Amino acid sequence: MFNRKPLPLIFLVLFCLSLACAGKGPRGEEETHMGKKQIEARLDLAERYFVQGKTRQAIQQLLKVQDQAPDIPRLNFDLGLAYAALDDPHKAISSYKKAVQIAPDYGEAWNNLGLIYMSEGDLENAEQSFKKALNIVTYISPEKSAYNLAQLFDQKNDLQQALKYARLSVQENWRFIAGYIYTADLLQRLGRDKQARKILHQGAEAVPDNLEITLKLAESLVRSGKNQEAKQWFKQIVQENPKSSQATVARDYLEFLD
């Protein structure tokens, strides 16, 4: 037999470290390559940050999964939201375009892409994007794209086309208050006050608990000299929600009309 010399301390340390690394290898790999559930959890977390107004925290979560899931439409849509909130329209456009390239029937992404184009003054691409969204049968909020098209044509001073799409927004969603109010506004600007009052009345009947459109209708009646009818609507506003800002305005009108 011969005497075995003890291993140098530094060798033992390195040897132990190599064993430790070898043992952690598979776990490290699992952390690097996220599964579907992990990616969805990150996206859920990012979207919760959006709701809380924490845009930078949201985008941090999204960037952590960007390389893992570049072909997930939801990821690219959320990135579009984040970049738009951070006032980076070019990256927002790029993200939304990636989302619709992956999923051509992604109506909300087409609509948001149109909004970014419109904010940048690119009305031609904005119009095409809104129309893409509007023509998607499975898009659950077509009234948004119709409304945005109305605004786009309003910017072009084409009030007739604007009115067409404003009316369409209400046809697509009969409870879409913004559509009723915008349609009435366009009609008034076109000198069609009677039709404006009619559309406001339809909106007030469609959504009777909405004080905003009720107030618009009452004010329209005052402008047309129908004070007694207007007073009924003002009183209704005060009765339904006496502490609302609309009730404060309604009381002022009632005091003036008495």
Specify if 115 maps to a domain.
Answer: yes
State pTM to two decimals. 0.83
Instruction: State the Cα–Cα distance between residues 258 and 246, nearest whole angstrom.
Output: 18
Question: Do residues 234 and 221 touch, judged by C-beta distance below 8 A?
Answer: no
Question: Do residues 162 and 186 touch, judged by C-beta distance below 8 A?
Answer: yes
Res. 186 pLDDT band, cuts 50 70 90: very high
Specify if 91 maps to a domain.
Answer: yes
Share of the chain above pLDDT 70, in %: 87
| Of 213, 212, 219, nearest in space to 244 by CA | 212
Instruction: State the Cα–Cα distance between residues 167 and 106, nearest whole angstrom.
Output: 24
pLDDT, tens digit, for every residue of 225-249? 999 999 999 999 999 999 999 999 9
Domain edge (last residue) among 140, 155, 174: 140
Domain edge (last residue) among 106, 122, 140: 140
Domain edge (last residue) among 93, 119, 140: 140
- Is residue 134 located within the same domain as residue 216? no
Specify if 145 maps to a domain.
Answer: no
Specify if 166 maps to a domain.
Answer: no
Res. 2 pLDDT band, cuts 50 70 90: very low
Specify if 10 maps to a domain.
Answer: no
Specify if 100 maps to a domain.
Answer: yes
Render the burial of 88-103: b for 16+ CB within 10 Å, e for the rest. ebeebbebbbbbbebb
Give the CATH number of the domain where residue 88 resides: 1.25.40.10
Specify if 15 maps to a domain.
Answer: no
CA distances from residue 176 to 36, 130, 204, 210 in whole angstroms, order as listed: 36, 17, 11, 11
pLDDT, tens digit, for every residue of 97-148? 999 999 999 999 999 999 999 999 999 999 999 999 999 999 999 999 999 9
Range of the domain at 118: 39-140
pLDDT of amino acid 54: 93
Specify if 84 maps to a domain.
Answer: yes
Sign of CA dihedral 242, 246, 251, 254: negative
pLDDT, tens digit, for every residue of 53-79? 999 999 999 998 888 877 899 999 999
CA distances from residue 215 to 1, 119, 210, 232, 233 in whole angstroms, order as listed: 104, 30, 9, 11, 7
Number of separate domains in the chain: 2
Question: Do residues 169 and 182 touch, judged by C-beta distance below 8 A?
Answer: yes
User: 15-24, 41-50, 130-139, 234-243: which range is least confident on average?
Assistant: 15-24
CB atoms inside a 10 Å sphere around CB 14: 11
